[in-house]
Amino acid sequence: MKIVVALGGNALQKEGVPATAEAQLEVIKYTSICLADMIEEGHQIVIVHGNGPQVGRIVMQNEYANKVTPAMPFDLCGAMSQGMIGYHIQQALRCELQKRGIDKSVTSVITQVVVDEDDEGFKNPTKPIGSFYTKEDAEKLIDEKGYNMKEDAGRGYRRVVASPEPKKIVEIDTIKKLFDDGQILVTVGGGGVPVVESGKNELEGVAAVIDKDFAAEKLAEDLNADVLMILTAVDKVAINFGKPNQINLDSMTMEEGEKYIRENQFASGSMLPKVKATMRFVSSKEGRKAIIASLDKAKEALNGKSGTVIKASDKRVLCSSVK
């Protein structure tokens, strides 16, 4: 099958471990084992990754060093994170494949994604980036730097930036050619570098982070993939999450997804975009499949032994909250 795999933060960084390049590479080495399992089964995969913590730290490094060297704009920081993470995935996955005798190239494509400059996301920043802070430290950053800070699913406060919808992947023709050639691609990293069309044949970077789940969904549609697989830190989508009556879902229909979204069952900074992206993909064309699962059980999820499968509705209508 042709599979677009979206990697969550746990695939790149381990909680409680210093955020060094060495530590990130070690985590990605384990992630590569999970990805290689799917490749070894004969699946053709394209890898999309998040970049929230990484781009946040790059921005911080730029700001703290601005007395020594000029700080780079936010869009360039996003491109830097694409290159850094893609490089680590290329190294680790290539090594794992060679151990298994699999002769395949792993290639990263620095990717721009067009957004609408009038997107509502610019009016209401929601995308978390960077580290977690206490309420007191968050208030200091608001006062001192003018950041937008919001509480993130009970885990602390994080800086939030605009998260506009992806409209077009600029390098899609190149991606398709490499994909058709059988290469394993790392692309649309961090949701892609957000750009707006500022004039005839001109693109201009903007300060935003596109949600990687929505960007992965757009990529999956463009590549006519069979499966969109979003890998995260939990085995299944759950309702009443963290409560005594929590229910883990083996599957979810479009109608059920709409109902749970209306009930605010999914946190906006974590599970909600994953659910919306998978519902959008399943709705886009008959026969498409979407799975939300844990990184550790990716292979099992593909074989129906773990994860949550998002199923098409009886009436194949793209529901309003999925748009």
Task: Tell me: pLDDT of 145 over 70.
Answer: yes
- The average pLDDT across 274-301 equals 95
CB-CB contact of 221 with 281 (8 Å): yes
- The average pLDDT across 45-73 equals 88
pLDDT of residue 131: 74
One of 8, 10, 50, 130 is an active-site residue; which one?
Answer: 10
pLDDT of residue 312: 87
Query: Which of 62-66, 245-249, 300-304 is predicted least confidently?
Result: 62-66
> How far is the C-alpha of 299 from the C-alpha of 41, rounded, in Å?
9
CB-CB contact of 310 with 22 (8 Å): no
> How far is the C-alpha of 39 from the C-alpha of 143, rounded, in Å?
49
**Partner residues linked to 210 by β-bridges:** none
pLDDT of residue 66: 80
Active site residue 299: no
120-155 b/e with 16+ CB inside 10 Å = b?
ebbeebbbbbbbebeeeebeebeeeeebebbebeee
> How far is the C-alpha of 251 from the C-alpha of 219, rounded, in Å?
23
pLDDT interval class at 60 (50, 70, 90): confident
Active site residue 212: yes
- The average pLDDT across 272-284 equals 96
Active site residue 9: yes
Token pair in block for residue 118: 């009038």
- The average pLDDT across 246-257 equals 95
Which residues, 6 or more positions from 177, have their beta carbon under 8 angstroms from its beta carbon? none
One of 274, 276, 289, 299 is an active-site residue; which one?
Answer: 274
Indicate the pairing of strand 168-169 with strand 112-114. Answer: antiparallel
pLDDT of residue 97: 98
- Looking at the chain, the whole-number percentage of residues with pLDDT higher than 90 is 70
Which candidate, 291, 285, 323, 284, places its Cα nearest to that of 306?
A: 291
Task: Tell me: pLDDT of 129 over 80.
Answer: no
Phi, psi for residue 130 in degrees, rounded to 5: 75, -160
- The average pLDDT across 235-243 equals 94
pLDDT interval class at 320 (50, 70, 90): very low
Q: Burial level of 177, CB count in 10 A (0-12/13-18/19+)?
A: exposed
One of 190, 191, 212, 269 is an active-site residue; which one?
Answer: 212
Task: Tell me: pLDDT of 253 over 80.
Answer: yes
Cα 288 from chain centroid (whole Å): 19
pLDDT of residue 314: 57
One of 51, 52, 121, 127 is an active-site residue; which one?
Answer: 127
Mean pLDDT of the chain: 91
Query: Which of 56-65, 92-101, 158-167, 257-266 is predicted least confidently?
Result: 56-65
Task: Tell me: pLDDT of 136 over 50.
Answer: yes
pLDDT interval class at 199 (50, 70, 90): confident
pLDDT of residue 319: 42
Active site residue 224: no
Active site residue 127: yes
